[in-house]
Structure 1
Amino acid sequence: MKTKILVAFIALVLFSCQNKEKPASKNIIKTIVQDTLSKTLGGTANLSKVTAKNDKVIELIREQLLVVLKKDLPVMTKDQRFFYYDAFDLNNDKKDEYFVGFSNPYFCGSGGCSGYILNNDGSVINKFTVTDFPIFIGTTSSENFKDLIFKSGNTLHSLKMKNGKYPLNPSVQEKWKGDIPAASPVILDIYAKKLEKYSF
């Protein structure tokens, strides 16, 4: 009889413990979810392990850089071999073009930094030089490609597609008049957004 009472008592204790643990675990999960959500909305969440970019695109850019910078690679240090990128559909063909930028002494000087604009297939549309980041997408188009607003030497310049290319050097292009349109997307905001860098 004592054994049956003891078994019943143990079963009752285990049952009551299980019932108490479930709400507690639900509360813990709810707390974690709420904390993560509030930090994400507030911009303080640690998203360093989140893959925000497409691995195929990164590999495509990496391969193209190894081709266009083939002569530079032997003299570059490991610390200089990294890039940032941003994607934007410049010609409304439902395929992104890729802006590739750098922020180290090999690619940057007193006038700014250099970089590339690549097609969706990785081919080079343009190289650009003496540019301060970020780059802005304009609200008008030329040759079915969005006009761009580049900052160079503390001055904004308008870059328009001509004969399938944007100008190489923004600093010698027409100065942008007025403010940047509020609707202009921001590209390669390397410093403010702290974009992830990738090696090549």
Structure 2
Amino acid sequence: MKNAFLIAFAVLMFCGCQNKEKTQSNIIKTIAEDTLSKTAAGTADVSNAPAKDDKTVGLIRKQLNVLLKKDLPVMTKENRFFYYEAFDLNNDKKDEYFIGFSNSYFCGSGGCSGYILNNDGSVINSFTITDFPIYITTSSTEKFYDLIFENGGKFYIVKMKDGKYPSNPSVKQELTGRAPKENTKVLDIEGKKLEKYSF
């Protein structure tokens, strides 16, 4: 009788465990299917997903906290984010970093501001009143590619001079027409849907 009771108890426990595992498996499967369908449809909410954090992002964050030290106390959390793209501007096999912003603290009716940093995080220069994207041409000056900035629907060619690009592109040579299509775009914030990072 005691053995029969133990066998019956073991069978019940085994069945209960299997049902529990099956239920958990079904829940996980349902969540995964829901997430996949929302991701494919572009309706998944990834606003709380952690941003990719790599060495470059850390370097840029550190530099922005130094460059904007006086601004930080008055900036809101919503204004403390940036976009970046890497490009080797001088063919030294090391990327430089274009840093852009797209919020009310850094942008106004004249455009937005940003930075170009060397691979080690040092500042090549800051720029003001530009619309994104920025175009990198195939021509160069002082071993750095010339850039094309857009401001107010007009395009301006910006060239390196004495180790810096000018900070206000609208005072430089205006191009007629549109930026040539063969130029590389960087900081195409709207077109590429670049990832944003907090600092």
Same fold (TM over 0.5): yes
The alpha-carbon distance between structure 1 residues 138 and 14, as it changes in their structure 2 partners (threshold 3 A), is same
Matched, 1:79 2:76: yes
Q: Which runs of 5+ in 2 are unaligned?
A: none
Distance 1:146 1:43 in 2: 37
Aligned partner of 2:177 in structure 1 is 177
Identity across matched positions, percent: 46
The alpha-carbon distance between structure 1 residues 51 and 62, as it changes in their structure 2 partners (threshold 3 A), is closer
- Residue pairs, 1:1-200, within 5 angstroms: 1=1, 3-47=2-46, 48-54=48-54, 56-69=55-68, 73=70, 77-79=74-76, 82-91=80-89, 92-103=91-102, 107-132=106-131, 134-138=132-136, 140-143=138-141, 145-162=144-161, 164-171=163-170, 172-175=172-175, 177-178=177-178, 181=181, 184-187=184-187, 189=189, 193=193, 195-199=195-199
Query: Counterpart amino acid of 2:53?
Result: K
Preserved CA contact (<8 Å) 1:113 1:131: yes
Distance 1:146 1:42 in 2: 40
Partner SS, residue 116 of structure 1: strand
More deviation, 13-22/121-130: 13-22
Instruction: Summarize deviations over 1:134-157 as a string: whole Å, max 9, x none.
Output: 224446242554544422113333
RMSD after superposition = 3.6
**Equivalenced residues, count:** 194
When normalised by structure 1's length, the TM-score is: 0.71
The alpha-carbon distance between structure 1 residues 75 and 95, as it changes in their structure 2 partners (threshold 3 A), is closer
The alpha-carbon distance between structure 1 residues 127 and 191, as it changes in their structure 2 partners (threshold 3 A), is same
